[in-house]
Structure 1
Amino acid sequence: MKKSVAFICVHNSCRSQMAEGWAKQLGKDVLEAYSAGTENYPQVKPLAVEVMEEAGVDMSSHYPKLLSDIPEKVDMVITMGCNVDCPYMPCDHREDWGLDDPSGGPIEGFRETRDKIKENVEALIARIQRNDI
């Protein structure tokens, strides 16, 4: 049975979108992935879409979503390191990945963040497969 995971950030425009993209590609057999933010934002950051495309993950159809746009109850909630208190979401497991937001910086920062998120998603999938979560 798949585990549902919500990746949460402030604007759902970069890190949480990347995490959803990786989870859907790498964990399609074990994860049902969502992402959302706590505030409205007009679009996913173009550099986030670009660097994910470089890595073979298509996020061209992604758009920022709010918490109210995803299921109310998920198995896991993962925050990206927003340094904000996310509203309570019922879940069985919660963790924070403590990632810096590359927004406003050079494309290299987006690439570094993309690669860190990929490593984190791979580790998450491995923990689920070992029944550690």
Structure 2
Amino acid sequence: MTGKIRVLFVCTANAARSQLAEALLRHTDPVRFEAFSAGTQPGEVDPRTYAALEHLGIDASGLRSKSMDEFVDGHFDYVITLCDKAALECQFLPEFGERLMWHFEDPVTSDKHDAFRHTLHEIHERIKMFVLVKTKH
């Protein structure tokens, strides 16, 4: 054990939101947190996910789409779902850790201008607050 707070971010395809969250938490507080992401029905990481992270200078290396199955034996302090569909599907999974349900619009299917950057910003704000609350002494 590393002594770090382990967080698993989950969305359906593990293509955008959970990847953004994983990279953002690693960037925000790599000393106290260990971040992972997975999908309930993983696909491929959307290239716009990498572009949004690179635009902010956040390291996107090592990101890949992963199934929840990879983490079935893992322990996490927090499992954070990033969409309603994943939150519903995760109700039937074994208890990994404390569950938090966040909901962000999927930038992959959004028709908003700069949807990926907008989602990245929203997730970043939530993660900064999460880190602040969870590391207060």
Q: Partner of 1:18 in structure 2?
A: 20
Give unpaired runs (5+ residues) of structure 2. Answer: none
Matched residue, 1:99: 104
Deviations 1:94-130 (A, max 9, x none): 1111111010345611111000111111111111111
Give aligned pairs, total: 130
> Within 5 Å, which residues of 2 pair with 1:1-133?
1-41=3-43, 43-70=44-71, 72-83=74-85, 84-86=88-90, 87-105=92-110, 108-130=114-136
Single out whichever of 73-82 and 10-19 deviates more from structure 2.
Answer: 73-82
TM-score normalised by length of structure 2? 0.86
Greater Cα offset, 31-40 or 64-73 = 64-73
TM-score normalised per structure 1: 0.88
Structure 1 gap segments, 5+ residues each: none
- Distance in 1, matches of 2:113 and 2:45, equals 15
Structure 1 vs Structure 2: percent identity of aligned residues?
28
Tell me the CA shift for residue 60 of structure 1: 4.1
Q: Secondary structure at the match of 2:114?
A: helix
Q: Using a 3 Å threshold, how does the CA distance of structure 1 residues 107 and 58 change in structure 2: closer, same or farther?
A: farther
Residue range with higher mean Cα deviation, 105-114 or 20-29: 105-114
RMSD of the TM alignment (CA)? 1.7
